[in-house]
Amino acid sequence: MKLKQRLVTGLIAGVFFLGVLILGGYLFTALIMGLAVIGFDEYMRMLKLKESRILYLLGLIGVIIIGVPWHQFGIEQILSWEKIIWMFMLLFLFTTVVTKNKVSLNQAGLVFIGIVYLGLGFHYIMETRLLDSNGLFWTSLVLIGIWSADSGAYFGGVLFGKHLLWPAISPKKTYEGAVGGIILAVIVSLIFSYFKPELLSIRDAIILGVVIAIIGQVGDFIQSAYKRTYGIKDTGALLPGHGGVLDRVDSWLIVFPFVHFLGLIPHL
């Protein structure tokens, strides 16, 4: 029954997401920002800080301000990224003062990390889709690269896995599985290069595939680590059989900013 539920939920969610991804525009932005808000709520629940209204409200505002691609609405970003992030850091530190230390420095710091992690992660997912007429190409490449790396790691581990990669964090992942994930992600990138060589050279496709696979697994390890820290299996229950938003997009939140920062895909 659980397997059937998982398959049905995955199919419906996948078809819906694919349709919105193809349409793009404001609809895609609205969907991703909705996921960002839900993801932040899951993050605060995990930290057991949702009852702290000041942290929750400040964090939610931070995720929205950092996450929204304001230029899509004709609003240019007034402040630079470093100024925005610094100002939110100051606000979170100041919460420890105005609450007379009822909000601890550790709590403020964790929520601050959350708005950077989620805000920038979801922001660059939207920015990638907004890349001129080629946004669908690049977004699809990164997403399919991540999914193929996950599949390659799974089947590589099942068929050839003997040496555990990081058992303290993720007890089933193996070196052989990681290599399988890299190989499949590179193959997918090369297929995209074959159909659009003017956008992606063979050399860049190989580099991009390797980066997507490795950084995607780093994102997966990060979430495994903090879920173990807080003793939870899933971050939420939005998708029956699949967990919460953060369970589904853990790799996305790391890979999309990373490939932009390295200049592996174009910028707006």
pLDDT, tens digit, 9 for 90 and up, residues 166-187: 666 666 777 788 888 899 999 9
Instruction: Measure the CA–CA gap between 25 and 247, rounded to whole angstroms.
Output: 25
> Residue 1: pLDDT above 50?
no
The pLDDT score that the predictor gives to residue 70 is 92
> Residue 188: pLDDT above 80?
yes
In the numeric block, the tokens 């980066």 are attached to: 211
Residue 207: which of 249, 259, 156, 252 has the closest Cα? 259
Q: Against a cut of 0.95, is the pTM above it?
A: no
The pLDDT score that the predictor gives to residue 155 is 80
In the numeric block, the tokens 């159909």 are attached to: 195
Range 24-50 average pLDDT: 95
